[in-house]
Amino acid sequence: MVNTILGRKIGMTQVFDEEDNVVPVTVIQAGPCTVSQVKTKATDGYDAVQIGFGDIKSNRLNKPMAGHFAKAGVEPMRYLREVRVENGEEHNTGDQVTVADFAEVTAVDVTGTSKGKGFQGTIKRWNFSRGPMTHGSRNQRKPGSIGQCAYPARVRKGLHMAGHMGDERVTVKNLKLVRVDAEQNLMLIKGAVPGGKNALVAIRMA
């Protein structure tokens, strides 16, 4: 069984649970994902399947990708991801992974790309505290000392400083799967997930 499905983040809303409590959820249009390649220990040294998601026009493909989809006998897809499985021989190209496979799942791990924030200072990026705002202080939002004097006479690696923030791979684990709508290929997950609207996310059974 493939324990991962690809989807597109639609946005956030809120629903009521069985006890009439308001639950904030993220709505994700997940799948259906098609298996475009199967890898086994005999041929590749490990067991995995390649799943695809999203439509794309055939004239947008380069020749290697067009040949890859033609060999598998599946329609071209915009996104491809490889997922490890226990036994690759149990899967075939053309198999479908849908939200119905997650009907009995209670918790999931969601992986996506966080929103890019551009170049940010240490207060926003690392939650530094600001300096005094009065009495001649000239250190309101400056980072302060970044090293030592004689030894090691350099800035240590990994020091928290200003720089590019966001736009990185983020995984949020053990999120509650509130509801699955198999007819519309929707998944409602409690809380926030990485990325903006229409961002690609991978949902894995926790």
| Whether 206 contacts 8, CB under 8 Å | no
For each of the chain's 206 residues, which pLDDT tens digit applies? 889 999 999 999 999 988 999 999 999 999 899 999 999 999 999 999 999 999 999 999 999 999 999 999 999 999 999 999 998 899 999 999 999 999 999 999 999 999 999 999 999 999 999 999 998 988 899 998 898 888 888 999 999 999 999 999 999 999 999 999 999 999 999 999 999 999 999 999 98
CA distance 189 to 103: 13
Name 85's Cβ contacts closer than 8 Å, sequence gap at least 6.
1, 2, 3, 47, 48, 49, 91
| Nearest by Cα to 172 from 126, 112, 92 | 112
With vertex at residue 127, the alpha carbon angle to CA 126 and CA 132, rounded to the nearest 5 degrees, is: 125
Q: What is the pTM of this model?
A: 0.87
